[in-house]
Amino acid sequence: MKLRACAERDRAMPLTLTAIFQKVPEGYIGYVEELPGANTQGDTLKEVWENLQEAVTLVLEANHALREGRGQASPLQFGD
């Protein structure tokens, strides 16, 4: 999977990631090995591919926002 990602000073740089796709009884799952949180599922391989591209973009944007101080991570809370 190749995509363009935000780098220092808002310059785009090429980034190559490893996308893994698996057939499961419910359809397909997909995830990116190098990017925790970038995973998805779908009925077709095409749907999973499209969803995974969006997931990667969202994770990279969230990480960039946190690094720039534009967002904040909230602590995990567990029920009693």
Position 56 scores a pLDDT of: 92
Bridge partner list, 40: 30
Tens digits of per-residue pLDDT, 26-42? Answer: 999 999 999 999 999 99
Please report which residue ranges of the chain form alpha helices under DSSP H: 45-67
Q: Look at the block and give the residue holding tokens 């009884």.
A: 25
pLDDT band at 4 (very low <50, low <70, confident <90, very high): very low
Q: Spell out the domain ranges in the chain.
A: 17-67
* pTM, two decimal places: 0.69
